[in-house]
């Protein structure tokens, strides 16, 4: 008479779990669980291996692309983080540009299990560029444009749209501007314009570092609002960008700016490499 089947879990010993615990401490992510099993010479099924990884707070997630940093950029990030850790970010204006486009759709939606959601998008959706600034006191107005950005156009937008709002944001306090290392910001025409306006610049912002900049989170906030609307033409896109920007809660802006010290701490802890923020 055949004996009843009994599941054998004897192979999952404390030694196996400890091996995996030490492995995940050394590895930021795991691409192939079969390789883990081979490397550690584990005699357990891949299913059981995945279960243990879940128990060790690992999960199978979508990968987010991040900039590839050079050795110099990594060093610059560490230097910046150490220099400006505990800096007073109260009177700093973060300025940045971004591109929005029509026919954007959320990465995830709720639907029946039997349905695979699809979304049709044209090969060349219409695009609108934007430039704006934010500080802990709030945001500047947002300027939308469709032209290619040049140094001369950047000066016009800064002088006419962005800088006038700093009087209300900072009152009579001394303040600083931070922007990325796009060559247009460092062009002679922009440099002269900012000097003529008496603007103080924090000039050692590290290249390739959107993960440190709080305005990137605000752009993400706006894009998420627009994704819900499934906008299909440029006129509607322009209108909804303006509405989304104007509706950003001050508390959200302040939380992003207040996270600067935490971001810099993470950069230091991560030895200058990209952080998740």
What does the pLDDT look like over 206-238, one tens digit per residue?
A: 999 999 999 999 999 999 999 888 899 999 999
Q: 71-269: which CATH number, 3.40.950.10, 3.40.50.300, 3.30.420.10, 3.30.460.10?
A: 3.30.420.10
The pLDDT, as a whole number, for residue 87 is 95
- pLDDT surpassing 60 at residue 9: no
Mean pLDDT over the full length of the chain = 89
**pTM for this entry:** 0.77
80-138 residue pLDDT tens: 999 999 999 999 999 999 999 998 877 777 666 777 777 778 888 999 999 999 999 99
Q: How far apart are CA 132 and CA 215, in angstroms?
A: 9
What percentage of the chain exceeds 90 in pLDDT?
A: 66
- Give the residue among 167, 109, 97 at the shortest CA–CA distance from 133: 97
**Residue with the larger pLDDT of the pair 258 and 6:** 258
Averaged pLDDT, 251-277: 94
Q: Which of 253, 261, 18, 251 is nearest to 134 (CA)?
A: 253
- Residue pair 273/74 in contact (Cβ under 8 Å)? The answer is yes
Interval 9-37 mean pLDDT: 82
Residue 101 near residue 130 (C-beta atoms within 8 A): no
Give CA–CA dist 55/57, Å, rounded.
5
- Distances, alpha carbon 6 to alpha carbons 2, 9, 50, 229, in Å: 12, 9, 21, 54
Most confident of 7-16, 64-73, 224-233: 224-233
């Amino acid at each position: 008479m055949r004996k009843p089947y009994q599941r054998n879990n004897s192979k999952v010993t404390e030694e196996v779990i400890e091996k995996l615990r030490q492995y995940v401490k050394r590895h930021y992510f795991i691409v192939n669980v079969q390789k883990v099993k081979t490397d550690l010479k584990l005699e357990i099924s891949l299913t059981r291996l995945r279960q243990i990884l879940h128990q060790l707070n690992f999960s199978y997630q979508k990968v987010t692309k991040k900039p590839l940093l050079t050795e110099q950029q990594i060093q610059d990030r560490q230097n910046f983080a150490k220099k400006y850790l505990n800096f007073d970010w109260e009177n700093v204006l973060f300025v940045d540009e971004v591109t929005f486009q029509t026919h954007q759709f959320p990465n995830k939606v709720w639907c029946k299990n039997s349905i695979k959601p699809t979304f049709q998008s044209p090969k060349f959706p219409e695009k609108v560029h934007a430039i704006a600034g934010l500080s802990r006191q709030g945001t500047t107005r947002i300027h939308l444009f469709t032209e290619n950005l040049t140094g001369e156009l950047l000066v016009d937008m800064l002088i006419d749209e962005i800088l006038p709002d700093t009087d209300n944001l900072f009152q009579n306090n001394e303040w600083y501007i931070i922007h990325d290392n796009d060559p247009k910001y460092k062009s002679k025409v922009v440099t002269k314009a900012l000097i003529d306006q008496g603007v103080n610049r924090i000039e050692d912002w590290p290249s390739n570092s959107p993960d440190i900049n709080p305005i990137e989170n605000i752009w993400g906030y706006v894009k998420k609002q627009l994704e819900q609307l499934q906008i299909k033409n440029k006129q509607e896109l322009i209108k909804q960008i303006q509405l989304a920007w104007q509706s950003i809660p001050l508390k959200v802006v302040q939380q992003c700016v207040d996270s600067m010290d935490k971001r810099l701490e993470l950069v230091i802890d991560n030895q200058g490499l990209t952080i998740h923020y």
